[in-house]
Amino acid sequence: MKNKYSEPNSEGFFGSYGGKFVPETLMEALDELEKCYEDIKSDSEFQKKIDRDLADFVGRPSPLYFAERLTEHFKGPNIWLKREDLNHTGAHKINNTIGQILLAKMMGKTRIIAETGAGQHGVATATVAARLGLECHIYMGAEDVQRQSLNVYRIKLLGAHVHPVESGTATLKDALNEAIRDWVTNVDNTYYIIGSVTGPHPYPMIVRDFNAIVGRELIHQSQASFQSLPDAIIACVGGGSNAIGIFHPFIDEDVRLIGVEAAGQGIDTGKHAAPLNDGEPGILHGAKSYLMQDSDGQIMATSSISAGLDYPGVGPEHSFLKDSGRAEYIAVDDESVMKAFHQLSELEGIIPALETAHAFAPLDLICSEFNEDQNIVINVSGRGDKDIASVAKLEGIDLE
């Protein structure tokens, strides 16, 4: 019998990736978090609480929907959509924040911080912080504050403070830097809710576990809908939290796992955000993983139409799954993403987030590899409301 998949190891490594590469002041906080998480993981009261919140506040389980017209269009396998876009706050991000805020509360922390790119994680964090009455600070790259103004306003409506970050490239990576600096300074009373499967151990594991509800639901739903497991699962990958959430329960199963990165203006141009396709291992934000870096080890600026994927690193577990060959990672450029965005809107009546549209862009290619009896599932990680203004602008349409 095969060994059951059990990454990461006790030191937080997925193979050779991951670990805890942070300033010394944070080491104790990470150890404390790890211990607390291990304690509550098996606590049935805590699990019940999370399950109740996921059902009544988030609206889980999210449906598995048969995309009939999309299936007809590609004339290949049956295409099913896992509807994370229907969650409260509009994306998968809330699965993680619901869990982490309860952890924060149990650890006696009174102040919540988070970074955000597209703003979805910022909204999901501000939402749960409001619900528990905790002070909340969101760090966001100044450039992202511009292109995701709707989410910035949502975060403010929820009573949280938004701190635009001007340093470096003024995008997601710089927001992360600033959040880490805040945490180093206020480590006694502050809980840092990381939004993706990135950062130092135990975050990649915790964020994965809280998002794995998506994959666990899919096991039952696919049995009920087509009496087998899916033949393939497709998800977009920035840091990679929605992808790992839906992949993880299937790692030991015979299911193709396909992650789609942002090729931005094209892999050849170097202006992209696809470290698994065109990067190399290095250390950023506390973990070893594939990175976009130059020959001197400096982190490179990235380019993507979607703020949520505009990040030079990726979760360490994806690096491990890439090297082991268990998951496949491809990349699609901005132009094909825009096509997929319109296609899903027009064929299925679902306007996806630009991040999510990446998972639909390679369907032509992927569908040609499956026959009509097979079933593939795409994770619809988020809805597109937040992107309407920027898409209109890109297409030269004046909404005023």
Partner 1 sequence: MNRIEKQLVENKNNNIKSLVAYLVAGDPNMDDTLSLMHGFVDAGVDVIEVGVPFSDPIAEGPIIQSAHDRSLANKTSFEGIIDLISNFRKKNTNTPIVLMGYLNSFLKNQKAFSRFDDIGIDGVLIVDAPGEYSLKDLGISNANVVSISLVSPTTTKERTKKICNASSGFIYYVTLKGVTGSSNVDLEEIKSNVIDLQKNTDLPVMAGFGIKNKEQAESISKVADGVVIGSYLVESIFEAKKTTDYKKIYNYLSEIKSVINK
Residues lying near partner 1 in the complex (CB under 8 A) are found at 19-29, 31, 167-168, 173-174, 177, 180-181, 184-188, 282-286, 291, 293, 295-299
SS (H, E, C) the chain: CCCCCCCCCCCCEECCEEEEECCHHHHHHHHHHHHHHHHHHCCHHHHHHHHHHHHHHHCCCCCEEECHHHHHHHCCCEEEEECHHHCHHHECHHHHHHHHHHHHHHCCCCEEEEEECCCHHHHHHHHHHHHHCCEEEEEEEHHHHHHCHHHHHHHHHCCCEEEEECCCCCCHHHHHHHHHHHHHHCCCCEEECCCCCCCCCCHHHHHHHHHCHHHHHHHHHHHHHHCCCCCEEEEECCCCHHHHHHHHHHCCCCCEEEEEEEEECCHHHCCCECHHHHCEEEEECEEEEEECECCCCCECCCCCCCHHHCCCECCHHHHHHHHHCCEEEEEEEHHHHHHHHHHHHHHHCCCECHHHHHHHCCHHHHHCCCCCCCEEEEECCEECHHHHHHHHHHCCCCCC
To partner 1, the closest distance from the beta carbon of 318 in angstroms equals: 18
The reply to whether 381 belongs to the active site is yes
Residue 131 or 181 having the CB closest to partner 1: 181
Between 189 and 324, name the residue whose CB sits nearer to partner 1: 189
For the bound state, the minimum distance from the C-beta of residue 282 to partner 1, rounded and expressed in Å, comes to 5
Annotated catalytic residue 93: yes
Residue nearer to partner 1 on the CB measure, 61 or 168: 168
Q: Which is nearer to partner 1, 20 or 322 (CB)?
A: 20
Please say which residue, 90 or 313, places its beta carbon nearer to partner 1: 313
CB of 284 to partner 1, least distance (A): 6
User: How, if at all, do strands 256-264 and 280-284 pair?
Assistant: unpaired
Q: Contact 257/321 with Cβ under 8 angstroms?
A: yes
Among residues 319, 381, 386, 390, the one annotated as catalytic is: 381
Considering the complex, state which of residue 21 and residue 66 has its C-beta at the smaller distance from partner 1. Answer: 21
Catalytic residue among 93, 173, 322, 386: 93
Smallest distance from partner 1 to CB 181, Å: 5
For the bound state, the minimum distance from the C-beta of residue 261 to partner 1, rounded and expressed in Å, comes to 20
| Nearest distance from C-beta of residue 173 to partner 1, angstroms | 6
- Dist CA 313 CA 290 (whole Å): 6
Q: Which amino acids are annotated catalytic?
A: 93, 115, 381
